[in-house]
């Protein structure tokens, strides 16, 4: 029965690799059209043009773009992300630690928003049309439209400045334990929780309403099953399928879209790393950072596909209709 899963996964994997390759092309040549060259960026605007040319030659950045791209790709495949011009050291360690930080933040966001959003969506669907449903829907929708920088500032003012419940900075002192780290992570996580909550809750509600009115749910009720069994065994599983896909898609967003939050909270994540690299024309860092975010996107989407396939036998066993 799982026979159909293998080829399906292989196909998806191949597509993912293709996506990543396309991304690398776009990122690389996008960086090439940005004004300014690396040597100029390193030596500054007043440097002697001969020195700039010499450095470009030394860096290899005077070669034709395609050649640079190929050697860059060659490096990536062998695990070498290149040298940062700004830091004059290999890119990889920077990316690694920023990715770990970002993952911690994203994990905090999802640990809060997934149970909250799904719970609210389920509750709203079960009480469809009642005041609690309206409240959840309206609250979710209004919260979603608040930009992170607005909610971030409001949250900082309330929880860090006025109430002093949570630390202002997202960065924790070196060597802090997980609990202290978590304390620092909650405040920066909240703006994203606010944005994602309404989205997940709405999606869950829609899936629930559909599953609740489905014929198979009626069949389950008429079997004489207690309501709780009907919900847990027949409704939830079918209702949550679309939500899972949405959550996975949002994970990529949470990782790459954290630029504003990370810089507001002065958090050393991949978002602020990419932003800094773009400002400094640190191409190697910029390209590696964007590709990392892209790879994360691709991996989460692939995971979502696998989970959906496992949960939906119609996909797993190659449905007739």
**Contact between 313 and other proteins (CB under 8 A)?**
yes
CB of 319 to other proteins, least distance (A): 5
Token digits of residue 26: 């776009």
Q: Tell me which of 102, 151, 238, 301 binds other proteins, using CB under 8 A.
A: 238
202-221: contacts with other proteins (CB under 8 A): 214-216, 218-221
Based on the shown chain and the rule CB under 8 A, indicate whether residue 226 belongs to the binding site for other proteins. yes
Comparing CB distances to other proteins, the nearer of 142 and 229 is: 229
In the complex with other proteins, the residue whose CB is nearer, 92 or 126, is 126
Would you tell me how many other CB atoms lie within 10 Å of the CB of residue 18? 11
Within residues 111-130, the interface with other proteins by CB under 8 A covers 129
| Binding of other proteins by 260 (CB under 8 A) | no
Which of residues 15, 53, 278, 311 is near other proteins by CB under 8 A? 311
What values do phi and psi take at 90, rounded to 5?
-60, 145
- Positive or negative, the CA dihedral 171, 173, 175, 179 is negative
Please report whether residue 222 would count as binding other proteins according to CB under 8 A: yes
By CB under 8 A, residue 317 contacts other proteins = yes
Query: Phi/psi zone of residue 34: left (φ > 0), alpha (ψ -120 to 50 degrees), beta?
Result: beta
Place of tokens 């209004």: 142
Among 233, 266, 279, 303, binds other proteins (CB under 8 A): 233
How many Cα atoms occupy the beta-carbon half-sphere of 316 within 13 Å? 10
User: Rule CB under 8 A: is residue 11 a binding residue for other proteins?
Assistant: no
* Shortest Å, Cβ 122 to other proteins: 17
Stretch that binds other proteins, among 160-168, 192-200, 225-233, 269-277 (CB under 8 A): 225-233
Q: CB-side exposure of 115: number of CA atoms within 13 Å?
A: 4
CB–CB of 28/72 below 8 Å?
A: yes
Q: What percentage of the chain's residues is helix, strand, coil (to nearest 5)?
A: 75, 0, 20
If the CB atoms of residues 48 and 215 are measured against other proteins, the closer one turns out to be 215
Number of residues in contact with other proteins under rule CB under 8 A: 26
- DSSP state at residue 34: S
Span near other proteins by CB under 8 A; candidates 20-28, 279-287, 289-297, 309-317: 309-317
d(CA 168, CA 156): 7
| 237 contacts other proteins (rule: CB under 8 A) | yes
In angstroms, rounded to a whole number, what is the distance separating the alpha carbons of residues 219 and 312? 19
SS3 317: coil
The distance from CA 311 to its chain's CA centroid, rounded to whole angstroms, is 23
Q: Print the binding letters for residues 129-158 with other proteins: x by CB under 8 A, - otherwise.
A: x-----------------------------
Q: Can you tell me which of 225, 249, 260, 280 binds other proteins, judged by CB under 8 A?
A: 225
SS3 302: helix
Give the interface segment with other proteins, choosing from 9-17, 24-32, 101-109, 231-239 (CB under 8 A). Answer: 231-239
Q: Which is nearer to other proteins, 142 or 213 (CB)?
A: 213
DSSP 79-128: T---EETTTTEESHHHHHHHHHHHHHHHHHHHHHHHHHHHHHHHHHHHTT
Q: Which residues bind other proteins (CB under 8 A)?
A: 1, 129, 214-216, 218-226, 233-234, 237-238, 311-314, 317, 319-321
């Amino acid at each position: 029965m799982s026979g159909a899963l293998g080829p399906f996964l292989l196909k998806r994997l191949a597509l993912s690799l293709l996506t990543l390759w396309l991304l690398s092309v776009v990122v690389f040549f996008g960086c090439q059209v940005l004004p300014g060259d690396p040597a100029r960026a390193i030596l500054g605007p007043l440097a002697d043009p001969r020195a700039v040319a010499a450095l470009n030659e030394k860096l290899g950045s005077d070669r034709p773009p395609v050649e640079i791209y190929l050697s860059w790709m060659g490096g990536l495949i062998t695990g070498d992300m290149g040298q940062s011009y700004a830091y004059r050291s290999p890119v990889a360690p920077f990316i690694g630690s920023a990715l770990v930080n970002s993952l911690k933040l994203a994990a905090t966001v999802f640990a809060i928003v997934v149970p909250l959003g799904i719970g609210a969506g389920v509750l709203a669907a079960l009480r469809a049309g009642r005041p609690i449903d309206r409240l959840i829907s309206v609250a979710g929708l209004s919260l979603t439209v608040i930009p992170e920088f607005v909610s971030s500032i409001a949250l900082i003012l309330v929880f860090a400045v006025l109430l002093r419940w949570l630390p202002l900075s997202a960065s924790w002192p070196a060597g802090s334990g997980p609990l202290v780290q978590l304390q620092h992570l909650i405040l920066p996580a909240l703006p994203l929780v606010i944005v994602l909550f309404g989205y997940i809750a709405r999606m869950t509600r829609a899936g629930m309403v559909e599953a609740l009115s489905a014929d198979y749910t009626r069949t389950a009720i008429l079997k004489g099953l207690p309501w709780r069994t009907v919900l847990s065994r027949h409704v939830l599983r079918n209702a949550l399928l679309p939500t899972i896909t949405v959550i996975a898609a949002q994970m990529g967003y949470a990782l790459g879209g954290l630029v504003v939050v990370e810089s507001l909270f002065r958090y050393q994540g991949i978002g602020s790393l990419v932003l800094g690299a773009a400002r400094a024309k640190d191409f190697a860092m910029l390209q590696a950072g964007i590709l990392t975010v892209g790879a994360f996107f691709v991996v989460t989407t692939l995971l979502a596909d696998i989970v959906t396939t496992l949960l939906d036998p119609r996909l797993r066993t190659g449905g007739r209709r």
